[in-house]
Amino acid sequence: MVATSVLATLVVAAAASLFMAWAIGAGSSGSTPFAPAVGANAISVMRAGFFVGLLGLAGAVLQGANVTETVGGSLVLFPAGGGLSAIAAIIALVTAAVLVAVGIFTGYPIATAFTVTGAVVGVGLAMGGQPATTKYLEIVTLWVAVPFVGGGIAFATAWLLRHESVPERVVVPVLGGLVAALLANVRFVLLAPGSQQASVAGAVAQSLGTPTLPTIAATTLLVATLGGGLLYRDIRADPDAGQRHFLLVLGGLVAFSAGGSQVGLALGPLLPLLGDGPTAGIPITGVLLFGGLGLLLGSWTGAPRMIKALSQDYSSLGPRRSIAALIPSFVIAQTAVFFGIPVSFNEIIVSAIVGSGAAAGGGEVSREKMVKTVLAWVGSLALAFALSYGVFVAVDAVM
DSSP string covering 76-134: EE-STT----HHHHHHHHHHHHHHHHHHHHHT----HHHHHHHHHHHHHHHTT-EE-HH
- The secondary structure of residue 290, as a DSSP letter, is H
> Which run of H or E residues covers position 212?
none
Cβ-count burial 346-363 (b if 16+ within 10 Å, e if not): bbbbbbbbbbbbbbbeeb
In the chain, the amino acid numbered 254 is V
Q: List Cα–Cα distances, 199 to 135, 191, 249, in angstroms.
A: 25, 7, 19
For residue 245, pLDDT beyond 50: yes
Which residues lie closer than 8 Å to 341 by C-beta, 6 or more apart?
Answer: 67, 70, 138, 139, 142
Question: What is the band of 122 on the pLDDT scale with cuts at 50, 70, 90?
Answer: very high
Cβ-count burial 144-174 (b if 16+ within 10 Å, e if not): eebbebbbbbbbbbbbbbbeeeeebeebbbe
Q: How far apart are CA 382 and CA 88, in angstroms?
A: 18
Q: Report the percentage of the chain scoring pLDDT > 70.
A: 85
Which among 158, 143, 219 is positioned nearest to 184, based on CA atoms?
Answer: 219
The total of other beta-carbon atoms located within 10 Å of residue 335's CB is 18
Q: Which residue has the higher pLDDT, 228 or 81?
A: 228
- What's the pLDDT at 33? 75
Q: How far apart are CA 277 and CA 10, in angstroms?
A: 10
Q: List Cα–Cα distances, 127 to 79, 155, 388, 391, 397, in angstroms.
A: 12, 44, 11, 11, 12
Cβ neighbourhood burial of 86 (10 Å; 0-12, 13-18, 19+): buried
The total of other beta-carbon atoms located within 10 Å of residue 29's CB is 36
Average pLDDT over residues 114-141: 92
The per-residue pLDDT for range 187-202, each reduced to its tens digit, is 887 776 666 778 888 8
Which among 92, 70, 84, 73 is positioned nearest to 128, based on CA atoms?
Answer: 84
Which of 58-62, 94-98, 194-198, 246-250 shows the lowest per-residue confidence on average (mean pLDDT)? 194-198
Strand partners, 188: 198
The per-residue pLDDT for range 257-315, each reduced to its tens digit, is 988 888 888 888 888 777 655 555 667 778 888 888 888 888 888 777 767 666 665 44
Per DSSP bridges, beta strands 198-199 and 76-77 are unpaired
- The secondary structure of residue 192, as a DSSP letter, is S
Average pLDDT over residues 225-246: 90
Angle, CA of 385, 389 and 394, to the nearest 5°: 150
Which residues lie closer than 8 Å to 135 by C-beta, 6 or more apart?
Answer: 70, 74, 75
The total of other beta-carbon atoms located within 10 Å of residue 202's CB is 20
Q: How far apart are CA 310 and CA 385, in angstroms?
A: 26
pTM of the predicted model, to two decimals? 0.86
- What's the pLDDT at 314? 45
Q: How far apart are CA 274 and CA 283, in angstroms?
A: 9
Which among 356, 299, 15 is positioned nearest to 157, based on CA atoms?
Answer: 356
